[in-house]
Amino acid sequence: MSVYDAAFVNTELSKSTSIFGLKLWVVIGILLGSFIVLTLFLLSLCLITRRKSRRHRHLGSTPPVSKEIQEIVHHHHHPPAAPDHQHKAPPVPEVQVDTGKLEHILAFSSGESKGHTSVSETTSFGSGNVGPEVSHLGWGRWYTLRELELATSGLCEENVIGEGGYGIVYHGVLTDGTNVAVKNLLNNKGQAEKEFKVEVEAIGRVRHKNLVRLLGYCVEGAYRMLVYEYVDNGNLEQWLHGDVGDVSPLTWDIRMNIILGTARGLAYLHEGLEPKVVHRDVKSSNILLDRQWNSKVSDFGLAKLLCSERSYVTTRVMGTFGYVAPEYACTGMLNEKSDVYSFGILIMEIISGRSPVDYSRPQGEVNLVEWLKTLIGNRKSEVVVDPKLLEMPATKALKRALLVALKCVDPDATKRPKMGHVIHMLEADDLLFRDERRAATEPSDSHSGNRQSNRNASKLG
């Protein structure tokens, strides 16, 4: 640009305009500044809108607790391909023994005929005050993360009372002095979210003296925590397989009380609720005990809610190796009879003090069911009793409990009894046991005592 051009531009920019008499260069500067301010305002508005959108999507990732549990299932009876197990231990082949023959041996050797061992099926949960309570507390209390951290001393390691694949359980004390068990679910590929919803849906509204009560929960950020009543005497696995000395504190009466209480809890889940609840992980470590040795079924993270008279086929078989029903493990077919099988294994475990599968034992004794069936077939029922029992149970009481266990683990799921039926058989066992003890303490009336026992046995028909 020449000197003359520059002078011309300066002259033009210095001219006054009709806008308030402002010079042209001033007007141009105002327009440029306004454009820059407007551009910055629009950019900031876009950023704020995008940030709000992200925050809304983040908060929306936590579904409402009351939503129906979503699970991929196949509503048909074709076996799915290769169900994956939670536990990868190799399967132990179960010995092929005629269960009916073993039941006959037990019934005959205890002075009863097989026809006297059946009871008409019923949904009753026994007599007296066994009936379930219904909670009127809704879904329980919503706890803040701060409350639970304070109760558990910051989720410290010293307060850990249990640990599993999906979470860690802490002992805590709330500000009002209430002892609680706080289960902090591990956020493992969405499993924590699923287990959280399952447990709340399964037991959030119910109360029963043989089910661990859910008090409330915490949903805060990535945390998913469940708050239960605190059961202060450990679990059944610890008392059966832990270091308790040469003599177990679990007497025969206590063991029968644990079996009966567990049966009542499961009967309520199966027959007292709609939809019914299939626990799917009945095992000794999930049976908690209080100071009076009352049992409480816990850990409903794998539970499934089923409509009445329906079975589900799932492609993912869940449970614990040694307790899983054979038809469920092979085909994924799930109904309440799967829990009945696991309960039968639990009875055998309680009577014998042995784990369902123990590879440290000699060949032929690795599988509890196989070993027990073999001994019963050889008429050696007394050998199966836990050697840590200080006093042997009455013969009829032992054989009645073994008979119930055999019925529960029948390979044919349709032949397994319902839990209400199991309770009646166990209560009849209790009557027989009391009569036998009374007969032992009254020698002069031994014949009348035997007649009374026979009459009680005949009531099972």
Instruction: Tell me the CA distances in angstroms from 127 to 62, 273, 419, 451, one per residue in order.
Output: 44, 19, 14, 24
Please state at what angle helix 395-408 crosses helix 336-352, rounded to 10 degrees: 150
Angle at CA of residue 239, ends 237 and 240, nearest 5°: 65
Determine whether 253 is an active site residue.
no
Q: Which two tokens stand for residue 88?
A: 């990868």
Sequence-distant (6+) residues with CB within 8 A of 35 are: none
Sequence-distant (6+) residues with CB within 8 A of 200 are: 65, 139, 214, 217, 226
Of 153, 107, 169, 92, which is closest to residue 356 (Cα–Cα)? 92
Alpha-carbon distance 346 to 398, whole Å? 15
Q: Which residues, in sequence order, are bridge partners of residue 133?
A: 207
Q: Taking a C-beta distance cutoff of 8 angstroms, is the pair 334, 278 a contact?
A: yes
Q: Which residues, in sequence order, are bridge partners of residue 313?
A: 74, 333
Of 216, 224, 227, which is closest to residue 170 (Cα–Cα)? 227
Alpha-carbon distance 24 to 345, whole Å? 97
Q: Which two tokens stand for residue 117?
A: 């061992």
User: What is the three-class DSSP state of 160?
Assistant: strand
Q: Taking a C-beta distance cutoff of 8 angstroms, is the pair 416, 410 a contact?
A: yes
Q: Which two tokens stand for residue 223?
A: 């945390």
Rg (CA), the chain: 34
User: What is the three-class DSSP state of 442?
Assistant: coil
Exactly one of 281, 299, 429, 435 is catalytic; which is it? 281
Please give the positions annotated as active site: 281
